[in-house]
Structure 1
Amino acid sequence: MNATGLVVEYNPFHNGHAYHAQQAKEQIGNDCTIAVMSGNFLQRGEPSIIDKWHRAEAALREGVDLVVELPYVFAVQNSDLFAKGALLTLDALGTDAVCFGSEQGSIAPFLEGYDAMEQYKDLYEETVRNQLDKGLSFPEASRYGYEQIGLTSDEFDLRKPNNILGFGYVKAIKDLHLSIKPTTVQRIHNDYHDEEIRHTIASATSIRKELLQAGTMTQRAKSALPESSVHALQSYRERTSCWHSWEHYFPFLQYRILTMSVDELSEIAGVEEGLQHRIYETIRIADSFEEWMTAMKTKRYTRTRLQRMATHVLTHTKKEDLLSLQQLNEVPYVRILGMNALGKSYMRQVKKEASVPLLTQPQQFEHSYLTIEERAMDAYLSSLPPSLRKERRKREFQPPILPKKM
């Protein structure tokens, strides 16, 4: 039995994700589809709108066969480390191919782009350093670097967000010498950053904006979501009276920062270059997370970078917790969130040859990454009432989801 990997966040699972999963099966023809999915905090430094369990169940009901968790230490990271964690996880599961969505829609330019990056690596890195010295953010400096080596043309544009992530997957496969075949599906009908729902295939950004502003499930949101995702979103809100956003966590974040010393704050992952002083100056006067981000954002510090830093503050993730990531060439474990009958059959096959523990419950294994995962879970649940926190926390230590008919 062969498997195709999908690197996902499903925040929430929408019609575009269903299209991606379907195209991956049709184009590659492998038996099993594995989604490696971020947990409760995401790559751009945001809490997921509903928890990982509801998102995983929606995916399983829409044709994904197996959902595993991308550990927090990789999930809330720049695109290169995010990609590294995802591809190493898929490799540990014996995945044959990975299929990602992109604006490009063809895999050849990604492979040619990698060769160009290798050939002109010194020029790229020198350009990036020069632009950083001028005060630009790393993403902006990288764009100048890509431009210098010809990777921002109409034929292949690394200014596009999904192309950037896809390029990260190809780089991870090549740099880590993984035997995973990269493939891509073209993103259709919407742009990654679209903030309005204009089609039945819409961006996750536009769907979240619609839901959070309305505070209820709207017809416009329903049009962009499969039934299973509508059910997951409504079920979670009925149970918790909440769809998560950063504003729910701002009082906790403000309290946490104001009760830390400058030295303690400087130890937190993402707090670099004296940023702790700017954090203190702005957090005292801000009345909301949005106001704080506006005060914090500069040409040097992008909102995404600041949100990741804020997530690490909230979860008390220190720089020392992440030191091992660069040298890692194998994930220490794989956490299974859910599977259907086909996924279960694939797991039986993989379990015989897996070189790392395949966990159905976190208490089966001890590792520092799982300790961080537990902190992240408690941080995510902190905005819920105590009785609900207890109920949702209990779910973390139970077996994977085996979906039944709705």
Structure 2
Amino acid sequence: MHACGLIVEYNPLHNGHVYHIQQAQKLTGCDAMIAIMSGNFTQRGEPAILDKFSRTQAALAAGIDLVVELPFLYAVQHADLFAAGAVSILQALQVDQLVFGSEEGSIEPFQQALAVQEEHQAAHAHELKMQLELGLSFPEANRKAYEAIGLESSLDLTSPNNILGFAYLKAVGKLGASVHVDTIKRVQAGYHEQSISGPIASATSIRSAWQDKKKQEVKKAVPDVTLASLETENLHSWEAYFPLLRYLILTRSAEMLRNIQGMEEGLEYRFKKYIAQSTSFQQFLSLIKTKRYTWTRLQRVCVHLLCNTQKPTVGPFLQGAPYTPYIRVLGMTKKGQAFLASRKKQLEVPLYTQLKDGMHPIADLELQASDAYYSILAPKTAADARRQEISPPIFT
């Protein structure tokens, strides 16, 4: 079976995502649509507004045939690690094509940019090191390093989806993956757009509008299955976790905080200094944010603190090129089941349809992250949600 892969978060799934699914299927003429989806926490360091199972259900209703989880370890990371983790799963599943949405809309500029970077790799690394030593954040330092080698003349790397798309191409090359990569142009709404102006809106604007109780605006931008979940499921946001985050920072020593993934360069002292005077997550991040520490980076550190992601535990799995220790299925259709059957004999890693304690350190971390995600729910609700983690996948 010819398969097309998408790397997604669906936070939540909206009309733009449905367009992406339909256009990717049209572009590739594939037999099966495969989504590699972040779990309960996202790449930008946020708790997903809806849990992974609600979002899986929405994906299957929208035209996806198989939803595979991007492990937490790779889902809450900078673009290159996020991309490498996802591409490694596509390669393990022997997915033929990867189609991503981008502001650019054409694959040629990405390929040209990759050629430039590979040709000037040493110069880029040197310039990046210099910019970081000046105190710039990694994204800004990287942008300036790309600019110095002439890469930004061929591709706008200030646009979030272009950044991720470029990371996908780099990952394919680094991992030696046989996945063919293509892109379609994002339509109407920008990634960071704050308001809903039509039937296709950004996930950011949809989350914001829902929190502001603008149901009618959201209704025109999402499919019915997403709307139903927003109306009936437990919704998650950073503010709901702030009391727990505050408790963790106040009761842990700077040395204990230093062991948390992403906590570097004395950042633990800023956490300790500003948490006592903060009354909200928004205020806390505003106080600790600097030119070096971007909002997104700080959110990722907060996720790892919330989930107790320890450097000694995850460090060995982040060295070199990430690999896929297992493939975890969240949901599938009959077509998705047929795709798995067609690939099963060639799989070089275990295929899991449910998780159990002790299966693998990365799977243990996944369960740990889910426990943190469900911790704000009432005990019985949290226990029911946790049982989904060890249950068979959704089948439609």
TM-score tier by shorter-chain length is over 0.9
- Residue 175 of structure 1 is matched in structure 2 by 174
Deviation at 1:329, TM superposition (A): 5.1
Distance across 1 between alignment mates of 2:137 and 2:357: 41
Residue 186 (1) aligns with residue 185 (2): yes
SS in 1 for 2:64: coil
SS in 2 for 1:352: helix
Contact 2:174 2:321 in 1 (8 A): no
- Residue 239 of structure 1 is matched in structure 2 by none
Deviation at 1:132, TM superposition (A): 1.2
Structure 1 unaligned blocks of 5 or more: 237-241
Letter in 2 for 1:207: I
Alpha carbons of structure 1 residues 364 and 32: separation in structure 2 relative to 1, 3 Å: farther
In the alignment of these two chains, the number of paired residues is 395
- Residue 160 of structure 1 is matched in structure 2 by 159
Letter in 1 for 2:386: R
Residue 232 (1) aligns with residue 229 (2): yes
| Among candidates 233, 242, 246, match of residue 254 of structure 1 | 246
Alpha carbons of structure 1 residues 264 and 112: separation in structure 2 relative to 1, 3 Å: same
Contact 2:81 2:322 in 1 (8 A): no
Distance across 2 between alignment mates of 1:34 and 1:165: 18
Distance across 1 between alignment mates of 2:59 and 2:322: 28
Contact 2:84 2:321 in 1 (8 A): no
Contact 2:92 2:324 in 1 (8 A): yes
Deviation at 1:319, TM superposition (A): 1.4
1:356-387: CA deviation from partner (whole Å, max 9, x where unpaired): 11110112971000111111001000111111
Residue 294 (1) aligns with residue 286 (2): yes
Percent same amino acid among aligned pairs?
47
Letter in 1 for 2:266: G
Contact 2:34 2:66 in 1 (8 A): yes
Matches within 5 A, 1:52-131: 52-131=52-131
Distance across 1 between alignment mates of 2:227 and 2:381: 21
1:3-53: CA deviation from partner (whole Å, max 9, x where unpaired): 111000000000000000101100011111100000000000000001000
Alpha carbons of structure 1 residues 365 and 256: separation in structure 2 relative to 1, 3 Å: closer
- Residue 374 of structure 2 is matched in structure 1 by 381
Distance across 2 between alignment mates of 1:303 and 1:293: 7
Contact 2:88 2:323 in 1 (8 A): yes
Contact 1:92 1:330 in 2 (8 A): no
1:308-356: CA deviation from partner (whole Å, max 9, x where unpaired): 0000000000112222223345301010000011001111111121111
Distance across 1 between alignment mates of 2:335 and 2:23: 18
Distance across 1 between alignment mates of 2:304 and 2:188: 34
Matches within 5 A, 1:306-325: 306-323=298-315, 324-325=317-318
Deviation at 1:213, TM superposition (A): 2.0
Letter in 2 for 1:196: S
1:186-227: CA deviation from partner (whole Å, max 9, x where unpaired): 01101111011112111000000001122xx61110111011
1:147-181: CA deviation from partner (whole Å, max 9, x where unpaired): 1122223x421111100000000000011110000
SS in 2 for 1:145: helix
Deviation at 1:59, TM superposition (A): 0.7
Distance across 2 between alignment mates of 1:315 and 1:124: 34
Deviation at 1:112, TM superposition (A): 1.2
Distance across 2 between alignment mates of 1:142 and 1:163: 14
Alpha carbons of structure 1 residues 77 and 128: separation in structure 2 relative to 1, 3 Å: same
Moved more, 40-49 or 108-117: 108-117
Distance across 2 between alignment mates of 1:14 and 1:89: 24
SS in 1 for 2:156: coil
Deviation at 1:282, TM superposition (A): 0.4
| Among candidates 214, 218, 221, match of residue 218 of structure 2 | 221
Contact 1:360 1:400 in 2 (8 A): yes
Deviation at 1:2, TM superposition (A): 1.1
Contact 1:212 1:243 in 2 (8 A): no
Contact 2:175 2:321 in 1 (8 A): no
Distance across 1 between alignment mates of 2:348 and 2:209: 43
